Every structure is written in C-alpha cells, then in structure tokens.
Amino acid sequence: MSDVKNELLFNDVISINQNINISGLTLLSLWDIVGNPITYKKKWPQDKILPLRSNSVVAVYTHSGNGQIHLYNGKIIRVQDHCVVFLNPLEISHYFCCGRVWALNWMEIITSGVIYLPIEQVIVLEDSSSRDEVTKAINEIKSNNDTYNRLGVARINKLIYEWLTYAVVDKPQHDAENKKLRVIEQIHLNIGKKWRISELSKIVPCSDTHLRKLFLKYTKQTPKEYILEAKLNYAYASIIHKCTPITTLALELNFYDSYHFSKAFKAKFGVCPSSCYEKNSNVK
C-alpha cells in the first residue's frame, strides 16, 4: 500500500458566475472534496478559495466516509455515510476527517428568506442517488454553455428541496413544510407559467383556502404576490447576469406586455428594467 500524500486526494472548487435565484435559492459556489485523516484537518475557511458572504448558509453534503465539524459554540457536528447538514458559516471553527476517507460537497447558498433550513440538524438521506445528481450538476455548471450552467444550478436547488423533506421537525410543521416546499419548487422550476391558485392547490393537494393560509404563514405573502416576486427576482438576475432583453423577459415570464412588466419591475426595484439593461450592457 502506498504512503498517503500530505495533500487532499481531491479538491475542486466551482464558482458560480451567474448567481441566479432559480428555486428560492441562490447557489454561490460549491466544492467537491475527498480527504483523509492526514490531509483534511482544516480551520474554517482555510481551504476555501472564495470569501463567503455573511448572510449565506453552507450545506455540507457527505456522500461517503465520515468527519466532524466543530462550531465556536462548542457543538460538534458528526457526519457520516449519506447525509447533509446546513450551517451558518460564521459559526464554523474547524473540521476534519475521522475515518479512512471523507467525500463531501460544501455548497454556499443564499435563501430568499421564505425557506426554512434546519440549521445544525444532520439530515440522514434515504435516497443515495444524490451523488450522481451532484456530479451531473458540477459538470453542467463547469461547461461553457449558459443553458447547462442554469440547469446545473437548478439541479442543485432541486436536490436541496428534496433533502429538506427528510428533515426531522414536529409532525404538523413537517406536513405543512412539505406542502409549501412542493408548491414553491414547482413555481420556480416553471417560472414562466401563468399559475392559477387551483393548479397550485392540486400539487399538494389541498383546498385553495388552505394553500393561501400556508403561503401567508410561511412567506407572509399570498400565492399571487409570491409568484410575482419570484418572476421579478428572476428577471433582475437575468438582466444583470445575462443582459436578457426586456421584451424577451416579458414574454418568457408571461406578463401581459412589456409595459406591465416594466411597471411591476420599477415598483419592486425602484428603477426601470431598461435602465438596468443599458447599464449592464455597457459594462459587458
């Protein structure tokens, strides 16, 4: 057996050039890492190339092996085999591999504020297909194709929603969270669709009235208000990062016309979409 080298067996950082909110989550960057007890003993964020944002959350997805993550409050997060844990990056002190190997993905994300993340809870995953999905997403994000980049980010975001369904919470809250997550996921994955409340209710399924109560409880918005905000956030990101024309966005997002789209955009962001487009077109 060859000697273990004093370096990570594998450490790949993937920076997301287009920080686009696709499903209520914005993926900023992710790391694909395989380490052993000698090579993976790190102070946070010693092995991270990019500075993490103070309002971000780190998802640590372990797909084999085991390790420990120590927090400044003295808590020790033990992960092994197939699990995920969401952490506040400012609370992380250090981490290290405990067994022969620790294969994991660090994911830096920002939520839209309406998604409940069970911080510091180790979520044991029953479905082992996540690793293949993460691998596909990494390959898509690393490609030079914008469409594949977006698909890769959407794949990661969809996985995160799936992982949340395994989280342990009080039964009534768990049921309500699952219903809300399923509906929100479909809204963002079909961002251009002109949704009716009855169509959203069938996803759960529940009554239209109950769905409105769920949205008001967890998002402080009606379904209509949430959908409009999701579309406008998507439009803003598309203009900033891709310089998508206003007419194209109005059509893609199913607004009545460009005028109504621009009016809604200005009401939310305080500036006309055409101004954003011209500014970013000149920069690029």
The C-alpha angle with vertex 92 and arms to 72 and 117, in degrees rounded to 5, equals 110
Q: Predicted confidence band at 8 (pLDDT cuts at 50, 70, 90)?
A: very low
Q: How far is CA 265 from CA 174, 257, 261, in A?
A: 34, 12, 6
The mean pLDDT value for 133-143 works out to: 86
Q: How far is CA 85 from CA 17, 36, 66, 243, 252, in A?
A: 25, 20, 13, 35, 35
Q: Predicted confidence band at 67 (pLDDT cuts at 50, 70, 90)?
A: very high
Rounded Cα gap, residues 157 and 269, in angstroms: 25
The mean pLDDT value for 134-160 works out to: 83
Class of domain 226-283: mainly alpha
Q: How far is CA 228 from CA 128, 172, 196, 261, in A?
A: 35, 28, 13, 10
Domain segments of the chain: what residues? Answer: 10-127, 171-225, 226-283
**Partner residues linked to 108 by β-bridges:** 29, 58
Q: Do you find a cis peptide bond into 245, omega within 30 degrees of 0? A: no
Higher-confidence residue: 284 or 142?
A: 142
H/E segment holding residue 79? strand 76-80
Rounded Cα gap, residues 25 and 71, in angstroms: 24
The C-alpha angle with vertex 276 and arms to 274 and 277, in degrees rounded to 5, equals 60
Instruction: Tell me the pLDDT of the chain averaged across its residues.
Output: 80
Q: What is the pTM of this model?
A: 0.58
Instruction: Write the CATH number of the domain with boundaries 10-127.
Output: 2.60.120.10
Which range (57-61, 66-70, 89-93, 278-282) has the least confidence?
278-282
Element counts in the chain: helices (H) and strands (E):
9, 8
